[in-house]
Amino acid sequence: MLSIDLQFARGDFLLTAYGRFGTGVTGICGPSGSGKSTLLALLAGLLRPQVGRLRFGQTALVDTSANQFTPAWRRHFALVFQDGLLFPHLSVRDNLLYGFRRLRPAHRLLSLETVLMLLEIGPLQDRRPAQLSGGERQRVALGRALLYSPRLLLLDEPLSSLDDRLKQQILPFLKRIKDVTHIPMIYVTHARAEVDYLADRVLFMEAGRLLA
């Protein structure tokens, strides 16, 4: 579904990544500084590689030999960061619906009611992000991403800022998202236990190289 052959250099750091990602959840593990978040930014379109190609399905999103680069807003991927990055001035409901309202009805794969039930966040709708716990904020961030009906869900260490108790609460929700929505995911983390629980396949990043 997703195939990449990319090179990206910044200062003394060089990332080289080659591979194919299928359906289900692909886990990418590696230590801090290995290039995991940089790889996700390249997939999302937030960074532009100096050399390479990126294809999703039958569509070429990046081909540097042809000077082709599809910007992030046209890829229709969703990226969830480790701190959620909710809009502090909006209610939970308005955060959830931020991308949903910008989609044509025919392009909406999930309803608000489905996501509220899936992530058990219905009672939080009228709160602001400052009134939520860390685990609640991450569930809302996941819900906002799902309601955008992405073709691919990118998760950048979404549990790293949570304590072990909250991690054990959130992981079953991620498993439920996988089983119910069937949206392909790439899950980046330094915690092997998380991908062992969630992922269908695991790759490793080491010093800027993506390894099987």
DSSP letter for each residue of 105-153: GGG--S-HHHHHHHHT-GGGTT--GGGS-HHHHHHHHHHHHHHT--SEE
- The pLDDT value recorded for residue 22 is 87
Q: What percent of the chain has pLDDT over 70?
A: 99
CB contact set of 83 (below 8 Å; sequence gap of 6+): 137, 161
Residue ranges per structural domain of the chain: 2-211
Mean pLDDT of the region 19-35: 92
What confidence category does residue 88 fall into, taking pLDDT thresholds of 50, 70 and 90?
very high
Q: What pTM, to 2 d.p., does this model score?
A: 0.90
Q: What is the pLDDT of residues 31-50, one digit of tens each?
A: 989 999 999 999 999 999 99
Average pLDDT, the chain: 92
pLDDT above 80 for 184: yes
Which CATH code fits 2-211? Answer: 3.40.50.300
- Higher model confidence: residue 4 or residue 169? 4
What confidence category does residue 118 fall into, taking pLDDT thresholds of 50, 70 and 90?
confident
Q: What is the pLDDT of residues 48-67, one digit of tens each?
A: 999 999 999 999 999 999 99
